[in-house]
């Protein structure tokens, strides 16, 4: 019985969370592997740090509902950011940028 209740609670919590994903590329369009992404909830100032994979892809999951800003940084490239990203219940947001 406890396991069944935990599964239900976990499923309910997952519907209250969102995610932000995207790709980071250089000016020529080539993927930037290993770029650092800082995903910040601008209301609570909570941050998640992610890195891009070999294809320049990143994902920040299990984000609380609220407004977010994303900043991409990689040595040798200019830093880029995007703000005013709103995460609602069960919503995914995709953003890509060139650094």
Q: Which residues span the domain enclosing 90?
A: 2-98
Q: What is the pLDDT of residue 1?
A: 37
- Number of folded domains that form the chain: 1
- The answer to whether 58 and 24 are in contact (CB under 8 A) is yes
β-partners of residue 36 are 51, 73
Give the pLDDT confidence of 50-80 residue by residue, as tens digits. Answer: 999 999 999 998 899 999 999 999 999 889 8
In the predicted model, what is the mean pLDDT of residues 78-89? 87
Model pTM score:
0.76
Q: What is the pLDDT of residue 90?
A: 61
Give the pLDDT confidence of 3-43 residue by residue, as tens digits. Answer: 443 333 333 345 578 888 989 988 898 999 999 999 999 99
CATH number at residue 83: 2.60.40.1120
Q: Are strands 47-51 and 36-41 parallel, antiparallel or unpaired?
A: antiparallel
């Amino acid at each position: 019985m406890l396991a069944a209740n935990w599964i239900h609670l976990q499923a309910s919590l997952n519907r209250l969370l969102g995610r932000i994903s995207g790709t980071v590329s250089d000016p020529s369009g080539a993927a930037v592997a290993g770029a650092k992404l800082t995903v910040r909830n601008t209301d609570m100032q909570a941050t998640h740090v992610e890195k891009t994979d070999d294809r320049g892809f990143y994902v920040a999951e299990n984000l609380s509902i609220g407004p977010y800003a994303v900043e991409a940084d990689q040595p040798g490239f200019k830093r880029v950011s995007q703000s005013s990203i709103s995460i609602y219940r069960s919503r995914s947001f995709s953003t890509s940028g060139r650094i």
